[in-house]
């Protein structure tokens, strides 16, 4: 075992000795908990798993968790990629997300990781959750959430997986797609969300009349795999402002889905439901329409679709100044406690 893994194991063992299985203490320094207030989500637990180098999930998921807790009553736990030597949030550390045992008690997992290479002990919690058929909400790079060497126990979850029955890994089997390519020009062409034909009556798109984000549209294979229903299509915009015009030409004919629901069942596992959006950077969450779509998705994932409001509250909680997406652009020196609800 590498030195970093040994240190991480020792830190986690000390932190978890006093906690029952699947429970995370509110004062643990490696994750953050937001206690739910009153609302339809009261009594439901959402675990939000961040960990990507590019799109600032360490900013987006705490904000989403605060919205779900304060405005809708969900109890939320946000997990982070952590440098085991410092306890600081470190998106470039791709093999350590402490606290995944919280999934044992979760009603919904929200995941926004990118090519993580977690060790078997941490991946076990992801696998047990997925194989139990529990609800998943995947954002942006979750289509390529894991990249695990072939020699390891959970290599089948890798986005480039070739194991029979697991082709495309977690992204393809659970969320409906793995990494293919950028469809819009990355950093040059932004995304306007358009409600998909036939989806206007879905409770998941209630109040989602204005969705825009600076990230580009991802390529997905059409038609969508499995029993999938497109909710929002991604109109490629010719620039990086919400007022820019739709791009003329083949990129918008047809438009790629950027949000959909589907059923999933991995080999040997139980059937479950998943919501996927290929939007979801921290800067995308500046869009109230997208925030509302994600709130609605969490209601749906938790089996509360009948309680989705006509216009779910999606006001930002506290100060939110997301950093531009890009590698090595994360705020240095931050700890999970710095994202606490105030």
Question: How many whole angstroms separate alpha carbon 189 and alpha carbon 100?
Answer: 35
Give per-residue burial for 258-271: e unless 16+ CB within 10 Å, then b: bbbbbebebeebee
Give the helix ranges, DSSP H, for the chain: 3-16, 57-72, 120-131, 169-170, 288-301
Q: What is the pLDDT of residues 37-56, one digit of tens each?
A: 999 999 999 999 999 999 99
* Helix, strand and coil percent figures for the chain, each rounded to 5: 25, 20, 55
Closest CA to 320 of 75, 58, 112, 90: 58
Residues 155, 135, 222, CA angle at the centre, nearest 5°?
A: 70
How many CB atoms neighbour CB 38 within 10 A?
Answer: 10
CATH topology of domain 3-339: Rossmann fold (3.40.50)
Please report the pLDDT score of residue 2 as a whole number: 46
Instruction: Convert 209-247 into a string of H (helix), E (strand) and C (coil).
Output: CCEEECCCCECCCCCCCCCEEEEEEEEEECCCCCCCCEC
Please report the pLDDT score of residue 13 as a whole number: 45
Domain ranges of the chain: 3-339
What token pair was written down for 139? 């954002």
Q: Dihedral of the CA atoms 222, 305, 295, 235 (nearest 10)?
A: 30
Q: What are phi and psi of 69, to 5 degrees?
A: -75, -55
What token pair was written down for 303? 């089996």
Please report the pLDDT score of residue 8 as a whole number: 52
Question: How many whole angstroms separate alpha carbon 299 and alpha carbon 226?
Answer: 22
Contact 150, 156 (CB under 8 A): no
Please report the pLDDT score of residue 229 as a whole number: 96
Residues of the chain with pLDDT under 50: 1-7, 9-24
pTM of the shown model: 0.92
Tokens 């009153």 -> residue: 38
Question: CB within 8 A of 10, min separation 6: which ones?
Answer: none
Question: How many whole angstroms separate alpha carbon 142 and alpha carbon 140?
Answer: 6
């Amino acid at each position: 075992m590498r030195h970093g893994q040994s240190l991480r194991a020792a830190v986690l063992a000390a932190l978890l000795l006093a906690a029952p299985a699947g429970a995370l203490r509110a004062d643990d320094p490696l994750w953050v908990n937001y206690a739910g207030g009153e609302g339809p989500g009261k009594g439901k637990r959402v675990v939000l798993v961040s960990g990507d180098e590019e799109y600032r999930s360490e900013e987006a998921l705490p904000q989403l968790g605060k919205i779900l807790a304060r405005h809708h009553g969900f109890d939320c736990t946000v997990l982070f990629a952590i440098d085991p030597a410092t306890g600081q949030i470190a998106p470039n550390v791709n093999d350590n997300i402490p606290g995944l045992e919280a999934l044992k008690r979760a009603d919904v997992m929200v995941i926004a990781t990118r090519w993580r290479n977690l060790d078997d002990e941490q991946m076990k919690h992801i696998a047990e959750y997925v194989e139990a058929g529990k609800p998943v909400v995947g954002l942006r790079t979750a289509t390529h959430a894991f990249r695990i060497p072939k020699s390891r126990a959970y290599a089948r979850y890798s986005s480039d997986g070739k194991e029979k029955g697991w082709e495309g890994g977690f992204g393809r089997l659970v969320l409906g797609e793995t990494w293919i390519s950028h469809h819009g020009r990355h950093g040059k062409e932004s995304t306007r969300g358009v409600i998909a034909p036939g989806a206007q009556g879905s409770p998941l798109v209630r109040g989602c009349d204005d969705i825009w984000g600076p990230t580009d549209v991802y390529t997905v294979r059409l038609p969508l795999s499995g029993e999938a229903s497109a909710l929002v299509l991604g109109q490629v915009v010719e620039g990086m402002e919400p007022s820019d015009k739709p791009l003329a030409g083949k990129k918008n004919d047809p438009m790629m889905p950027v949000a959909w629901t589907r059923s999933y069942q991995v080999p040997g596992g139980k059937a479950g439901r998943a919501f996927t959006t290929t939007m979801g950077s921290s800067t995308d969450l500046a869009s109230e329409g997208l925030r509302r779509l994600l709130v609605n998705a969490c209601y749906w994932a938790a089996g509360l679709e009948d309680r989705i409001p006509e216009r779910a509250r999606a006001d930002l909680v506290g100060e939110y100044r997301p950093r531009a997406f890009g590698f090595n652009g994360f705020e240095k020196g931050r700890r999970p406690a710095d994202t606490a609800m105030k």
